[in-house]
Amino acid sequence: MVKLLDGKKLSQKMNVQMKQDVAALATQGIIPGLAVILVGDDAASHIYVRNKKRRAEKLGIRSVIEELPVTTTETELLQLIDQYNRDPEIDGILVQLPLPAQIDPWHVLLAIDPHKDVDGFSPVNMGKLWSGRPDVIACTPLGIMKLLAANGIDVAGMDALVIGRSTIVGRPMAGLLVNADATVTIAHTKTNDVKAIARRSDLIVAACGVAHFITADDVKPGAVVVDVGMDRLPDGKLTGDVDFEHVKDVASAITPVPGGVGPMTITMLMNQTIQLAKGRAQRE
């Protein structure tokens, strides 16, 4: 019988520990601080930011939300980032993507203090990950590794396929798997016959943004399947990059959509903010 990799359940369990960690920090006079900067009026981004603020408040994390107009210049945004870089009570800084066309995301990533880069997207933190000495890690891949470990899945020795090469999911996911002794293939839009690679893989992480891209015929019997996709079917129903209903009959373990990877992403964001606050407590 297939094992359901339930991110919602693990997230709820981690919330208990995180609340305890925040309470322990409070006895030292430390309140974890998270600054979230949103530029423009992207509707989805506003929903994401609202959800992050709600979760932070439930855990006792101080959440500072900066909502800037779509006309904000790059210089103005970088000045605000610098302000939070120097704020001793802010442990993590997150700039919500996407950004308006006049702002270069690369310049933003370079501007955030790597020690406060709670998203793990800084080239410094990405370099540490690929050097085998990770510090702050991209939240979605980190959440996936936590979910696998919590379900007793050891990736060491596995042939792993990561479909997607974004700096948000694909590349850091591959780095974490390499560090955990998996043999990793990164597939993307230029890869020849991705599905042939999938059929011989022990672990598939699908993050390509194409609804039901991975079908039961593409999965090796007994493989572990992680679905990062958040896609919409023609009827508006939320689904993933994996045809869950059919793949679950082939895989040994699989994440549902929703309720799999999604809850772990925001959980890891909060957890890393708390870990950064613990680092501040040790320095003070």
Residue ranges at the known binding site: 164-166
- Would you call 275 a catalytic residue per the annotation? no
- Would you call 79 a catalytic residue per the annotation? no
Burial class (CB in 10 A: 0-12, 13-18, 19+), 232: exposed
Residue from 21, 91, 96, 275 carrying the catalytic annotation: 96
Which residues, including other chains, have CB under 8 Å from residue 105's CB and lie 6 or more apart?
97, 98, 99
Cis-peptide into 98, omega within 30 deg: yes
Residue 186 carries which DSSP code?
A: E
Residue from 21, 91, 117, 119 carrying the catalytic annotation: 119
- Would you call 41 a catalytic residue per the annotation? no
> How is the beta sheet containing 253-254 ordered, strand by strand?
3-4, 253-254, 224-227, 203-206, 159-163, 183-187
Which residues belong to the annotated binding site for NADP(+)?
A: 164-166
Please give the angle made by the CA atoms of 113, 114 and 115, to the nearest 5 degrees: 90
Pair 201, 159: CB distance under 8 Å: yes
Q: Which residues are annotated as catalytic?
A: 52, 96, 119
